[in-house]
Structure 1
Amino acid sequence: MVVVAGRSFGVIFCFGGSSLPATKTPRKFGTTTLAKRDEVQENSKSEKRSFFSLKISKSFLARTAIGVFGLGFIDAGYSGDWSRTGVITTQNEELLRLAAFLVVPLCIFLIVSLPVDSDSYTS
């Protein structure tokens, strides 16, 4: 509660009671709220399971990451977009072109040489 008198004001705190009107009927928060909360948690768990039910092997993820790494060298070295926007210099672009001759065959070798794991899946 704020009391304004003239040019100054003061704040009065009520620690004992509530400014809301008291009701004579007791409120039932316990069982109905808990039951609804359990249903919501069960529904959210089942939705999460169905959403993340796609199983991908770890070797497939590793192959994908290696492929993206190799394609990054090709993109940075040969597209010309990175040096045109000023992210890298033209000298770095030429260096990336030369490095792509080493990195891309290495990436292809790693992709082919990774074993196929049929039972190791990420979830």
Structure 2
Amino acid sequence: MPIADSSFIFTGLSALPHPLILSNNNARKFGTTSAKRTGDSDSISSTQLKFPSLRVSNPLLARSVVAVLGLGFVDAGYSGDWSRIGAITKETEDFLKIGAFLVVPFCVFLIFSFSEQTDSS
């Protein structure tokens, strides 16, 4: 097959020229170009709407993480889905039910303690 003799890559029955293999000196060479900025582009960018950045305070983020942790314990212990699909055993599910009695009140305590710290500062 004359793949080495020409700059074509054969796919199926059609031949496609490969842009990186340039055996012909008259072939088009690809390069990067950049446009210069004009004064008109600055006026267009100033009229575009700027969206507000999504900033979340650290205490709110911490409360959300703790709430998801508590809900994860409740879901893993009481839904039965995890043991049904084989992700955890029935014994582990029973252990998570007992653990949820300790973890969920602790999570509620942490959520309220984070809110007290933001009120005092």
What is the identity percentage for the equivalent residue pairs of Structure 1 and Structure 2? 41
Where do 4+ consecutive residues of structure 1 move more than 4 Å? none
Whose helix fraction is larger, Structure 1's or Structure 2's? 1
Give the match for residue 95 of structure 1: 95
Question: What is the Cα deviation at residue 53 of structure 1?
Answer: 1.5
Q: Which structure ranks higher in relative contact order (CA pairs < 8 Å, sequence separation ≥ 6)?
A: 1
Q: 1:26-69, CA deviations, whole angstroms, 9 ceiling, x for partnerless residues? A: xxx66xx1227xx59x95xx77x61x523321100000000000
Give the match for residue 18 of structure 1: 26
Aligned partners of 1:69 and 1:110: how far apart in 2? 11
- Segments of 5+ residues of structure 1 without an aligned counterpart are 21-28
Q: Give the alignment's Cα RMSD to 1 decimal.
A: 3.4
**Scaled by the length of structure 2, what TM-score is found?**
0.61
Q: Aligned partner of 2:93: which letter?
A: E
Aligned partners of 1:95 and 1:62: how far apart in 2? 26
- Number of residue pairs matched? 94
Q: 1:64-123, CA deviations, whole angstroms, 9 ceiling, x for partnerless residues? A: 000000000001001111111111110000000000011011111111001227x9xxxx
- Segments of 5+ residues of structure 2 without an aligned counterpart are 8-22
Q: Aligned partner of 2:91: which letter?
A: Q
Aligned partners of 2:75 and 2:27: how far apart in 1? 67
Question: What is the Cα deviation at residue 18 of structure 1?
Answer: 2.6
Paired residues for 1:1-123 under 5 Å: 10-11=5-6, 13-14=23-24, 17-19=25-27, 33-35=35-37, 39=41, 50=51, 53-114=53-114, 115-116=117-118
